[in-house]
Amino acid sequence: MEMNFEDITVVGFDADDTLWVNETYFRETEEKFADLLEGFETKNKIDQELFRTEIKNLDLYGYGIKGFMLSMIESALELSNNGISQATLGRILNLGKEMISHPVELLEGVEEVLEKLQGKYRLIVLTKGDLLDQERKLERSGLTDYFHHVEVLSDKKEKNYQNLLDHLNIDVKNFIMIGNSLKSDVLPLVNIGARAIHVPFHTTWKHEMVEGPVEHKGYMTVSALPEILKYLK
Amino acid sequence: MEMNFEDITVVGFDADDTLWVNETYFRETEEKFADLLEGFETKNKIDQELFRTEIKNLDLYGYGIKGFMLSMIESALELSNNGISQATLGRILNLGKEMISHPVELLEGVEEVLEKLQGKYRLIVLTKGDLLDQERKLERSGLTDYFHHVEVLSDKKEKNYQNLLDHLNIDVKNFIMIGNSLKSDVLPLVNIGARAIHVPFHTTWKHEMVEGPVEHKGYMTVSALPEILKYLK
């Protein structure tokens, strides 16, 4: 399939694991969480239970570190049958605070790509999760000036994207989304008639995984962000 | 001072305690929190300590129920010197979940006001706090169709408003903000040259209070939302 990029005027970038490392810190925190609870259950069971709690709470808390922290507290109480010590619960709160305060680690080639695209396209950041958290990361990243603005969506479903494009007066045909998640950054866009480039990150949260190979008109996969410069010039 | 409203084209509404009840539920939850901790400290000390913890965490967590929940857990551990029971911590989590799930209670006259203003002005919701939470409340409120869209700001300082007006291409002279908080909904707007109408709510969070009488050009105070219809026609 030949994709044509001539009519693109607006480029949306996912942020977490597209511009900077994110999922890795969740994995590391899950490891530490499992270590704190190892007297009560197997590592595997702890992992499963935390994931189950996160998914159960997703409608209530949405995406982001604060909801993750609350789910860690909840599943620590459940996994231990209320046997976990109060001091350990305090340590779990601190694990979350450390995540929030973590320095931003840009992925390779990000600045080079933004440098080349700025002025030619309107660049926006399109992320889900916590607004304050995402604004803070953008500020710490030093990338603020490349972007027209940041949009934080409560979810990244077709309806969220469609509402956003409507409100920004952007025609789907002029829009392309760049991101690491097929489920959140690619397929919903393709389904509403926009385009997308998939840039996989080495770690994907289970909830973001799409089973089996996904072939779809309207998007392509590249192996690293700088490759998008072949198409967007 | 005579305020002129002829050039207003866009009306921004704060949501919590302007369109619907909010602060009241925080007060009620604080009461229940103090009841759960009453073996450890006086009610007054518990109130103070929770507030201190919230303010300490505000930069980290921002506004909203999830941050409030995390601060309740943290101050319960501190106030009790880790003596609070695990079961009580579970109950504190549930207090927060109940807040998130609480039905939306519209303030008096809200629908009548929106009904009259729709079509004459572009109406937007401008709130701070948690994006998912605010979207959910708007949906539950049944008011969605009155509004062009919702903007959730990480904070409501001059800079946040200025960025927003820039990004929406709204001239400050065409914009008026309606809200219950002098600090968040009124003064920052006046300071950037926009206008505001202050509609006080009976309960104000300590952090939102402004000391002493505040007189300022560019805004007026009304005693209930329907009074804005005298000015915006």
Within a domain: A112: yes
A159: enclosing H helix or E strand: helix A158-167
Chain A contact present for B151, CB below 8 A: no
Name the DSSP class of A20.
B
How far lies A31's CA from each of A34, A58, A99, in Å? 5, 21, 13
Report the DSSP beta bridge partners of residue B221: B198
pLDDT on residue B218 = 77
- Cα B102 to the chain's mean position, in Å? 16
Contact B93 A100 (CB under 8 A): no
Chain A contact present for B167, CB below 8 A: yes
CA distance B62 to chain A (A): 6
Contact list in B for residue A71 (CB cut-off 8 A) is: none
Within a domain: B159: yes
Nearest Cβ partner of B70 from A69, A82, A153? A69
Q: Give the residue from B75, B58, B76 showing the smallest Cα distance to B67.
A: B58
Q: Tell me which of A56, A86, A163 to substitute to probe the interface with B (most B C-beta atoms closer than 10 Å).
A: A86
Q: Please report, as a single letter, which amino acid is at residue A179.
A: G
Which residue in chain B is spatially nearest to A65 when comparing CA positions? B61
Chain A contact present for B154, CB below 8 A: yes
Q: CATH number of the domain that B56 lies in?
A: 1.10.150.240
Q: Are residues B139 and B55 in the same domain?
A: no
Model pLDDT for residues A143-178, shown as the tens digit of each residue: 999 998 888 898 899 999 999 998 888 999 999 999
Which residue in chain A is spatially nearest to B134 when comparing CA positions? A154
Percent with pLDDT over 90 in chain A = 76
How many angstroms separate the CA atoms of A107 and A19, rounded?
Answer: 6
Contact A85 B82 (CB under 8 A): yes
Q: Tell me which of B101, B124, B153 is where a domain ends.
A: B101
Stronger pLDDT, A206 or B38, i.e. the higher one: B38
Within a domain: B1: no
Print the domain residue range for A166.
Answer: 10-20+104-230
CA count, 13 A, side-chain hemisphere, A155? 17
Contact list in A for residue B74 (CB cut-off 8 A) is: 90, 93
Name the DSSP class of A107.
P
Q: Tell me which of A101, A122, A152 is where a domain ends.
A: A101
Neighbours of A142 (CB within 10 A): 11
**Mean pLDDT computed over every residue of chain A:** 91
Contact A70 B74 (CB under 8 A): no
Cα four-point dihedral sign A189, A168, A148, B11: negative
Q: Are residues A110 and A221 in the same domain?
A: yes
CA distance A48 to chain B (A): 20
pLDDT on residue B149 = 83
Percent with pLDDT over 70 in chain A = 93
Nearest Cβ partner of B167 from A66, A96, A149? A149
Number of domains in chain B: 2
Report the DSSP beta bridge partners of residue B151: B126
- Cα A143 to the chain's mean position, in Å? 17
Report the DSSP beta bridge partners of residue B149: B124
Neighbours of A135 (CB within 10 A): 20
- φ, ψ for residue B181 (rounded to 5)? -105, 115
Q: Are residues B124 and B178 in the same domain?
A: yes
pLDDT on residue B159 = 94
Whether residue A18 has pLDDT greater than 80: yes
Contact B62 A101 (CB under 8 A): no
Tens of pLDDT along chain B (233 residues)?
A: 557 788 999 999 999 999 999 999 999 999 999 999 999 999 999 999 999 999 999 999 998 999 999 999 999 999 999 999 999 999 999 999 999 999 999 999 999 999 999 999 999 999 988 888 998 999 999 999 999 888 889 889 999 999 999 888 899 999 999 999 999 999 999 999 999 999 998 766 666 666 554 556 778 888 889 999 988 98
Q: Are residues B53 and B108 in the same domain?
A: no
Contact B77 A89 (CB under 8 A): yes
Q: Are residues A77 and A179 in the same domain?
A: no
Q: Tell me which of A54, A71, A101 is where a domain ends.
A: A101
How many angstroms separate the CA atoms of B204 and B55, rounded?
Answer: 15
pLDDT on residue B223 = 86
pLDDT on residue B3 = 72
Q: Are residues B187 and B210 in the same domain?
A: yes
Residues A164, A167, A173: CA angle, nearest 5 degrees? 65
Contact B149 A131 (CB under 8 A): no
C-alpha dihedral, B173 to B179 to B181 to B186, nearest 10°: 10
CA distance A88 to chain B (A): 10
Per-residue confidence at A216, pLDDT binned at 50, 70, 90? low
Contact list in B for residue A37 (CB cut-off 8 A) is: none
Q: Please report, as a single letter, which amino acid is at residue B106.
A: L
Average pLDDT over every residue of A179-189 = 94
How many angstroms separate the CA atoms of B66 and B69, rounded?
Answer: 5
Which residue in chain A is spatially nearest to B132 when comparing CA positions? A154
Within a domain: B3: no
Whether residue A213 has pLDDT greater than 60: no
Q: Provide DSSP, chain B.
A: -----TT--EEEE--BTTTB--HHHHHHHHHHHHHHTTTTS-HHHHHHHHHHHHHHHHHHH-SSHHHHHHHHHHHHHHHTTT-S-HHHHHHHHHHHHHHHHPPP-BPTTHHHHHHHHBTTBEEEEEEES-HHHHHHHHHHHT-GGG-SEEEEES--SHHHHHHHHHHTT--GGGEEEEES-IIIIIHHHHHTT-EEEE---S---GGG---S----TTEEE-SSGGGGGGT--
Average pLDDT over every residue of A95-119 = 96
List, in sequence order, the alpha helices (H) in A23-153. 23-36, 43-61, 65-79, 86-101, 110-117, 131-141
Q: Are residues B190 and B215 in the same domain?
A: yes
Q: What ipTM is given for this predicted complex?
A: 0.89
Q: Are residues B141 and B110 in the same domain?
A: yes
How many angstroms separate the CA atoms of A68 and B123, rounded?
Answer: 34
Chain A contact present for B40, CB below 8 A: no
CA count, 13 A, side-chain hemisphere, B28? 10
